[in-house]
Amino acid sequence: MPGPTDPFAGRTAGHRGRLVRWEGHELLELESPTLRVTVSLSRGGELLEIRDKGSDVDILWHGHEDIRRNVHAPATQELPHGAFLDHFAGGWQVVFPSAQYPTTIGGAPFGVHGEIALLPWRLDGVGEEDCSVWAEISVESRRLPVQMTRRLTVEGSRLDISDRIENLSSESFEVQWGHHIALGGLVAEPGTTINLPPHTPFDVPNDPSPSYRYAAGSYTWPNVVTRAGRAEQVDRLPADDGSEGHVIAGPMQEGWAQVTSPAASLHLLLEWDVELFPYCWIWNVFGGVHGWPLWGQHRLFTLEPFSSPLESRDEAVAAGRSITVRPGDIRQTAISLTLRPITADQTTAEDLS
């Protein structure tokens, strides 16, 4: 029987879950014989761990200690663009109702990447079976009349996330929506490959950073030109050289990305709803981003399915790329991640397809 604080059944084998407290966080742990997923209810429904149990590899990138120790302290000065980067320590966040830039919706200000990723979530229900374990969690935005509900299911080596937003008001508004997935450790080692659907178009923004790797322009996957004028393929991660850069793929015809990591001996398949998320932002950091917040210390890359390219919500509204949420609207979407080991005779993404 479930205990007074843990609603799970207490299974000790197969698919099982736990509700625990750790370092100030209320955590959900969802586990199969091959996959372990840890989620923080205390902040953002954020995924803190996605671990392949066979290789003992956590595919997520982790930065400073904030999310791990949940230290509460006043900021020396509030950031004009919001608090997200003060607390960003890796992992997987849902981004809503604004993306890269601050915005105002109906008089309510929102910082970078909105507010959902910074709010505590509720646990609404759980279930354990021989072949799967799931949990349903929800949150209401403080500045927007929206409830978001998500169901996380672990089944074998697959994580499925079903998200739903509901407009609780009698007014319409325009939003951006996406996922911020930071990958690191062995998964981000040199030689890792990223495969997108063939002939996917992508843009490189005009970034002023002196360590920016790519020349601004429009390209077709995976070919790009560096700022030094050298032809390069963005589908294979290079060694650290102090650079960073963005690749904004889309609009995409299919919603998937494959990652093949020889160092981790893992193949990752991310699949999403391409109608709602026709773009995928990829942020490559090879020892770059000098100064705050990374200080040239880190190596990571992101896969970020998004409703719009790298632009403000106001730009998305003007271009017709925002999501209109009408009174009483319910919008649903899904995203999934599958991990598989690379066997001795599998060396490329094509081998694994």
Q: How confident is the model at residue 111 (pLDDT cuts 50, 70, 90)?
A: confident
Of 90 and 83, which is predicted with more confidence?
A: 90
With respect to CATH, is domain 19-352 assigned 2.70.98.10? yes
Q: What percent of the chain has pLDDT over 90?
A: 74
Q: How confident is the model at residue 350 (pLDDT cuts 50, 70, 90)?
A: very low
SS3 68: helix
> Nearest 5 degrees, angle CA 157-CA 301-CA 99?
100
Q: What pLDDT sits at residue 22?
A: 82
The DSSP bridge partners found for residue 335 are 161, 272
Reported as a single tens digit per residue, the pLDDT across 228-237 is 999 999 999 9
Q: How confident is the model at residue 1 (pLDDT cuts 50, 70, 90)?
A: very low
d(CA 84, CA 142): 16
Q: What pLDDT sits at residue 56?
A: 97
Q: Which of 65-79, 99-113, 201-215, 276-290 shows the lowest per-residue confidence on average (mean pLDDT)?
A: 65-79
Number of residues that make up the chain: 353
Q: What pLDDT sits at residue 343?
A: 80
Angstrom distances, CA of residue 319 to CA of 83, 208, 254, 309, 323 = 27, 24, 22, 11, 11
Buried/exposed 310-348: b ≥16 CB within 10 Å, e otherwise: bbbbbbbbeeebbbebeeeeebebbbbbbbbebeeeeee
| Cβ atoms of residues 116 and 94 within 8 Å | yes
Average pLDDT taken over every residue of the chain: 90
- Token reading at 249: 């793929």
What residues does each domain of the chain span? Answer: 19-352
Reported as a single tens digit per residue, the pLDDT across 199-212 is 999 999 999 899 99
pTM confidence score? 0.92
Please say if the pLDDT value at position 84 is more than 60.
yes
Of 221, 333, 343, which Cα lies nearest the Cα of 273? 333
**Within a 10 A sphere around the Cβ of 222, how many other Cβ atoms?**
18
Please say if the pLDDT value at position 3 is more than 50.
no
